[in-house]
């Protein structure tokens, strides 16, 4: 009838068919709704580093400072926010995968990651709110970023517990490892004993390559100009900005090309690094 209602959680019911929830602050007959986990959701707490933004202690938020992070996610999920959280580094995509067949995708969500590596909901609260899926079975949880390698939890995560969480940063073993890939582990050791998502995948094809077909160096060069490698494209939100400083640079200080080369090895430019996902 044109009236807007704002629903909020008041607590959990008890009992067994019928379920009840007692209250003491009612002032009259009103409108109520009964919900469950499927609709109300559960906050999933994840910790991760994006190597391109990592500064040795936490992550730079240059894209946010420059006002470049869009209010609609870049992954086609159509997640929106009115205001980008103040400490957000960028959008990330969180994908739930089947516990028996990890290559099977169940659902996808778009959230933010903040400077301290916390997953943020679109409202700025810590923990991404997972809705619309059953919590009866655990899931493998994949985190991807538009120019970093995606990673998957090495074990399933149970969404039925009070505070489901996973910390990818503490050990290489926290991410699923593809034993068929010998060039690189699933995550980069961004500082001693601390791990994050590999940067440099400007083409988002699951590989970081400096030479050869579809390489990331060429993508960066293409944005600044194939015949003008000294040109800089400043203050942009671009997949080619692999160091996430808001600029696309091929030569000189802050070079994104140099980041790609450093990933595969300054003395081994022909090596191709690969994403570890089933």
Helix (H, G, I), strand (E, B) or coil at 256: helix
Asked if 63 and 70 count as a contact pair (C-beta separation under 8 A), the reply is no
Q: 45 CB contacts (<8 Å, ≥6 apart)?
A: 118, 119, 126, 127, 163, 164, 165, 166
Determine the pLDDT at residue 276. 98
Quick one: which H or E segment has residue 144?
strand 140-145
CA–CA separation, 239 and 198 (whole Å): 14
pLDDT of amino acid 14: 76
Q: Determine if the pTM surpasses 0.85.
A: yes
DSSP 112: E
Q: CB–CB of 204/146 below 8 Å?
A: yes
Name the DSSP letter for residue 198: P
Selection from 44, 56, 64 nearest residue 128 by Cα: 44
Each residue's pLDDT expressed in tens, for the chain with a length of 278 residues: 677 666 555 666 777 777 777 777 666 666 555 555 566 689 999 999 999 999 999 999 999 999 999 999 999 999 999 999 999 999 999 999 999 999 999 999 999 999 999 999 999 999 999 999 988 889 999 999 999 999 999 999 999 998 999 999 999 999 999 999 999 999 999 999 999 999 999 999 999 999 999 999 999 999 999 999 999 999 999 999 999 999 999 999 999 999 999 999 999 999 999 999 99
Residue appearing with tokens 């007692």: 22
| Cα separation values, 229 from 102, 261, 269, Å | 42, 16, 18
Identify the CA nearest to 92 among candidates 150, 35, 137.
150
pLDDT of residue 107: 97
Helices and strands per DSSP (H, E), number in the chain: 4, 16
pLDDT at 136: 82
């Amino acid at each position: 009838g044109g009236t807007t209602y704002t629903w909020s959680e008041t607590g959990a019911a008890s009992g067994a068919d019928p379920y009840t929830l007692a209250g003491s602050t009612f002032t009259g007959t009103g409108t109520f709704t009964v919900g469950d986990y499927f609709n109300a959701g559960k906050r999933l707490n994840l910790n991760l580093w994006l190597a391109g933004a990592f500064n040795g202690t936490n992550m730079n938020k240059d894209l946010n400072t420059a006002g470049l992070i869009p209010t609609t996610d870049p992954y086609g999920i159509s997640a929106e926010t009115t205001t980008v959280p103040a400490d957000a580094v960028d959008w990330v995509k969180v994908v739930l995968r089947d516990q028996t067949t990890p290559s099977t995708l169940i659902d996808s969500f778009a959230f933010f990651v903040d400077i301290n590596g916390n997953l943020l909901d679109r409202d700025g609260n810590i923990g991404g709110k997972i809705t619309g899926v059953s919590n009866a079975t655990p899931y493998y949880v994949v985190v991807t970023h538009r120019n970093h390698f995606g990673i998957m939890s090495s074990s399933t995560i149970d969404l039925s517990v009070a505070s489901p969480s996973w910390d990818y940063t503490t050990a290489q073993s926290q991410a699923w490892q593809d034993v068929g890939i010998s060039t690189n582990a699933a995550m980069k050791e961004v500082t001693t004993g601390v791990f994050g998502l590999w940067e440099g995948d400007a083409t988002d094809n699951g590989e970081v390559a400096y030479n050869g077909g579809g390489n990331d160096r060429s993508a960066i060069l293409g944005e600044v100009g194939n015949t003008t490698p000294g040109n800089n494209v400043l203050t942009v939100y671009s997949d080619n900005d692999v160091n996430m400083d808001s600029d696309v640079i091929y030569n000189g200080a802050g070079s994104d090309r140099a980041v790609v080369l450093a990933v595969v090895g300054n003395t081994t430019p022909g090596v191709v690094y690969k994403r570890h996902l089933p």
